[in-house]
Structure 1
Amino acid sequence: MQFNKIIGQDHLKKKLRETVKNNRVAHAQLFYGGEGVGKLPLAIAYAQFINCKDENKFINGDSCGTCPSCNKYNKLIHPDLHFVFPIAGGDESKKPISSNFLTEWRELLLQNDGYITLNDWYQKIEIERKQAVINVSECNQIIQTLNYTSYESDYKVMIIWMVEKLYYVAAPKLLKILEEPPDKTLFLLIAEHTEQIINTIMSRLLPVKIPRIDDDAITEAIKKRFNVDDPIANQVAQQANGSFTEAVSLLDQSEDRKANFDRFKDWMRMCWTFDAQGLLDFSEKVAREGRESNKSFLQFSLVAIRNSLALNYTKYAYIRIAEEERVFYENFSPFVNHLNIVMFTNEFNKAINHIERNVHSALVFFDLSLTIVKLLKMK
């Protein structure tokens, strides 16, 4: 994967190239930022650039894409490129460590140029209803792998995707190898929620913030990759909030978003009228869809609440949403105000946390619904 495949992020690509040119490559770096901004493809392109054998790569500003090292990086099969990612015990024939899922991982990355979400990965390996982590066995495997000498390249590269999913019991093992890494080893850790990373691990990493992608870059990428007209590409880019994966989701007729919006709308109406039986049926139905789907819907709902608050105080607030959503949020906005917004936020975050901790989803949603009934009456 080359830098020229990365959408936008020109300033950051230049900065990364300069670290290689000036021999200032930190051995443990954390690429962090929102979903869909290109953290993973940037990490792969950076590693490929470091190990590219072309003497003109600094002049050209990119790896050559054709040397033996680049050819293997392009297929994600370089023997000195290693990946770790969240896994749950699914297929009985496979132990829950990343090396046993590399075929699926490579397929997903190559199909999407590296722009994937956690839900994409869970769907790929069919674990939507399970909680995936980076476990102790995985960290033992990291140590074992990196203790071998490199096969072909100057650097052995370990890319750990979604490091915030590291199981707390496994943290000391990862910390040890970060503190005492083998020579010529490069750790590129990737995260979306740095607040969930253990402080002792954070302190060993050089943070590299990956900003949102600018709208023009997303527009051009959509037009090039999906052959859509300018008006559609522009509208999708404006609503994507700097995330290419969100843009792709929106472009795919926004089926999931539309379903979440319709469900949120019905939910709030049942809460307002206090339709107890309807709320109970709703909670049981949602619970059957799996934890990751539940979390995604709760996150969407929290954003919807915040959009309503913005429209309550500023009718013409600039929010990247479809017209149908804006109309509903404007009508709903009087019920979200300075008296209840903090409690709304706390209750939704608490519900997300409970889902992550395997509390029964139906109970979580029904309890949250009863709280929302009270919050909507606060004026």
Structure 2
Amino acid sequence: MLFKEIIGQEKIKERLLQTVMENRVSHAQLFFGGEGRGKLSIAIAYAQFINCRDQEKFIRKDSCGLCPSCIKYDKLIHPDLHFVFPVAANKEVKEKPLSQNFMAQWREMLIENHYFPSLNDWYDKIDIERKQAGINVHDSNQIIRTLSYTSYESEYKVMIIWMVEKLNYQAAPKLLKIIEEPPDKTLFLLITENPDNIIPTILSRTQLVKFPKIEDNVLIGACETQLEIGHNQAVEISRVANGNFKEAMRLAGQKDERNEVFEKFVGWMRMCYTLDVPKMTAFSETMGRESRESIKGFLLSGMEVLRNCLVLNYTSPELIKIRGSELDFMKKFSPFINGNNAEKFSEEFNQAIYHIGRNANTGLVLFDLSLTVAKLLKIKAPVSVK
């Protein structure tokens, strides 16, 4: 992976390059920011640049892509490049799952998703059904063992921990010492979309690198060249994706799926408004059989719809990055989302997401949320809102 192959984030690329050229690479760095901003791809490109053997890399400010080290990095098979990510038992790995058990699927998944993976992509790839994945004690022990060996070929051993917020409380203490005082020439690159969920003792031991949204003009260009779509469609997708290339890929290739999620949410809101308990029960049971990450994604999408409805009460529709039937629904639904209930909607949805992530019964959580939504929709707007 070369820096020039990654869309956007030019300031971060330059900052990381400077750390190498000035010989001040921090041994533990946390790349954080929202989905689809290139954190993982830049982490791989950064590691590849550090270990590239071509000295002219400092002139071109990128890896050569041709030396033995770069070739192995490109295939994700370099012996000094290590990955750890959330895992769970499945039909092939029935107990004590380790990241190294899933490396073939990991490589395939990255290529399939242009190095912009999501947790849903990953969980679907390893087929863990409704199990809750995490970074466990076995992987923590494996990290310590792996990094205790000398490097095979390169100057640096690199450990990339993807979605480090999934590191469980039993596993985290084992890594504190090695992250704070790693073996010489060892680089930890931790990646997260939710830094607030990272254990503070891990967070405090890293140098933070914040990834902003990808700029609209860059996103439009990437849609045209990488996703091979026309300019007008690229502009529209960029407007909705809001700096998230992963979302742009979804919009470009999975429009039907996005519409399905939206229509499902609309149907759910109608059930709640009319207090149709039999339908609410059936919805909760059916939705509850999907994976936990899918349910959380559905609720997060719903929160975005509710946010847009609230904004429509106070500003022009032109500021909402939505068009067509979705905007039509939001205009009609916005009177029911107001200053008297919006905060409570956010609290209840976030609480449901929290409990689903903690292995609560998904069907019961959704049914309880449905009843709460039904009550909240009856709360009238403040008199001052027209």
Q: Which residue of 2 aligns with 1:47?
A: 47
Q: Which residue of 2 aligns with 1:228?
A: 229
How big is each residue's C-alpha offset from its partner over 1:214-260, in whole Å with a ceiling of 9 and x where there is no partner?
Answer: 11111111211232211111111111111111000000142222111
How big is each residue's C-alpha offset from its partner over 1:101-120, in whole Å with a ceiling of 9 and x where there is no partner?
Answer: 11111111123331111111
Paired with 1:11 and 1:22, the residues of 2 have a C-alpha distance of 16
Please say if residues 213 and 242 of structure 1, whose CA atoms lie closer than 8 Å, have aligned partners that are also in contact. Answer: yes
The letter for the 2-side match of 1:216 is N
Paired with 1:268 and 1:136, the residues of 2 have a C-alpha distance of 41
The letter for the 1-side match of 2:151 is S
Paired with 1:292 and 1:217, the residues of 2 have a C-alpha distance of 29
Paired with 1:171 and 1:343, the residues of 2 have a C-alpha distance of 33
Paired with 1:292 and 1:358, the residues of 2 have a C-alpha distance of 11
Q: Which residue of 2 aligns with 1:32?
A: 32
Paired with 2:244 and 2:316, the residues of 1 have a C-alpha distance of 25
Please say if residues 2 and 65 of structure 2, whose CA atoms lie closer than 8 Å, have aligned partners that are also in contact. Answer: yes
Please say if residues 162 and 189 of structure 1, whose CA atoms lie closer than 8 Å, have aligned partners that are also in contact. Answer: yes
User: Which stretch of the first structure deviates more once superposed, 253-262 or 232-241?
Assistant: 253-262
Structure 2 stretches lacking a partner, 5+ long: 381-386
SS at match of 2:226: helix
User: Which stretch of the first structure deviates more once superposed, 177-186 or 188-197?
Assistant: 177-186
Q: Which residue of 1 aligns with 2:156?
A: 155
How big is each residue's C-alpha offset from its partner over 1:309-352, in whole Å with a ceiling of 9 and x where there is no partner?
Answer: 00112133512223211111111001111111111000000101
Q: Which residue of 2 aligns with 1:14?
A: 14
User: Which stretch of the first structure deviates more once superposed, 270-279 or 253-262?
Assistant: 253-262
SS at match of 1:144: helix
SS at match of 1:159: strand
Paired with 2:257 and 2:354, the residues of 1 have a C-alpha distance of 22
Q: Which residue of 2 aligns with 1:56?
A: 56
1:103 aligns with 2:104: yes
Q: Which residue of 2 aligns with 1:214?
A: 215
Q: Which residue of 2 aligns with 1:121?
A: 122
1:92 offset after TM fit, Å? 4.1
CA RMSD of aligned residues (A): 1.1
Q: Which residue of 2 aligns with 1:323?
A: 324
1:348 aligns with 2:349: yes
Q: Which residue of 2 aligns with 1:263?
A: 264
Matched ranges for 1:182-261 at <5 A: 182-261=183-262
The letter for the 2-side match of 1:211 is P
The letter for the 1-side match of 2:324 is E
- 4+ long deviations beyond 2 Å: 91-95, 110-113
Q: Which residue of 1 aligns with 2:340?
A: 339
Q: Which residue of 1 aligns with 2:69?
A: 69
1:271 offset after TM fit, Å? 1.0
Q: Which residue of 2 aligns with 1:82?
A: 82
Please say if residues 49 and 63 of structure 1, whose CA atoms lie closer than 8 Å, have aligned partners that are also in contact. Answer: yes
Change (3 A) 1:253 1:85: closer
Q: Which residue of 1 aligns with 2:132?
A: 131
Paired with 2:202 and 2:227, the residues of 1 have a C-alpha distance of 40
The letter for the 2-side match of 1:138 is D
1:280 offset after TM fit, Å? 0.9
The letter for the 1-side match of 2:58 is F
Paired with 1:248 and 1:108, the residues of 2 have a C-alpha distance of 14
Paired with 2:320 and 2:146, the residues of 1 have a C-alpha distance of 47
The letter for the 2-side match of 1:83 is F
Paired with 1:344 and 1:59, the residues of 2 have a C-alpha distance of 53
The letter for the 2-side match of 1:70 is C
Paired with 1:188 and 1:182, the residues of 2 have a C-alpha distance of 15
Paired with 1:371 and 1:50, the residues of 2 have a C-alpha distance of 53
Paired with 1:112 and 1:358, the residues of 2 have a C-alpha distance of 28
Paired with 1:58 and 1:153, the residues of 2 have a C-alpha distance of 17
Paired with 1:53 and 1:329, the residues of 2 have a C-alpha distance of 55
How big is each residue's C-alpha offset from its partner over 1:113-140, in whole Å with a ceiling of 9 and x where there is no partner?
Answer: 3111111111111124111100000000
Q: Which residue of 2 aligns with 1:174?
A: 175
User: Which stretch of the first structure deviates more once superposed, 222-231 or 314-323?
Assistant: 314-323
1:365 aligns with 2:366: yes
Paired with 2:23 and 2:244, the residues of 1 have a C-alpha distance of 31
The letter for the 1-side match of 2:9 is Q
How big is each residue's C-alpha offset from its partner over 1:350-374, in whole Å with a ceiling of 9 and x where there is no partner?
Answer: 1011111111111111111111111
Aligned residue pairs, count: 379
Paired with 1:367 and 1:317, the residues of 2 have a C-alpha distance of 35
Structure 1 stretches lacking a partner, 5+ long: none
